Amino acid sequence: MIIRWKISLFLLLTPAGVSACPAGEWLQQGVGWQMCVPIPGAQENASAPNRSEPAWADRWGAIAVDTAPRGSVGFSAANGMKRKVQAERAALKSCREKGGTRCEIKILYYNQCAVLVWGDHSFNTSSAESEEQARKVGLDKCKNAGEENCEVLYSGCSIPERIQ
């Protein structure tokens, strides 16, 4: 009985000649009103990037240092690589090609800059958003460790590449 009453009320309140809603919408109605509204999830994803907006790809970098004890510093770096593993491999390969016997990755970074700072007795690596910031962080680390004659031996950046 209640179901018949609801159906009758629906038919009474629905104006004659109401056509179906456009694709992606459904009819929503209440007492004395009705309207077409978007079906949730049927519209394009609002969080999807606009085709006119730029798209960026990450770029990786790495610094490898030869840790074998000897009188000079052996290091190598790779920047602008598409993948983390490419940056690691390129830095290690270059370090070995320069005569390194115990080359180790000391820093991996992406979409930023990195430095290798050396003092009288130790070294450090640092990364930051800009080369200037990375230099400052690295030199501060060196001085805070009690080192003297701190200098930046290497600095480089792996910045994102625009792909669209």
Q: Is 21 exposed, middle or buried (0-12, 13-18, 19+ CB in 10 A)?
A: middle
pLDDT band of residue 59 (cuts 50, 70, 90) is very high
pLDDT band at 31 (very low <50, low <70, confident <90, very high): confident
The sheet with strand 151-158 has its strands ordered as 123-128, 112-118, 151-158
What does the pLDDT look like over 136-164, one tens digit per residue? 999 999 999 999 999 999 999 999 999 88
**Nearest alpha-carbon partner for 20 in 36, 42, 41:** 36
Question: What's the whole-number mean pLDDT along residues 98-113?
Answer: 93
DSSP 57-110: E--EEEEEEE-S-SSS-EEEEEEEESSHHHHHHHHHHHHHHTT-SSEEEEEEEE
Q: Is the whole model's pTM more than 0.75, yes or no?
A: no
pLDDT > 60? residue 74: yes
With a cut of 50, say whether residue 6 has pLDDT above it. Answer: no
pLDDT band at 89 (very low <50, low <70, confident <90, very high): very high
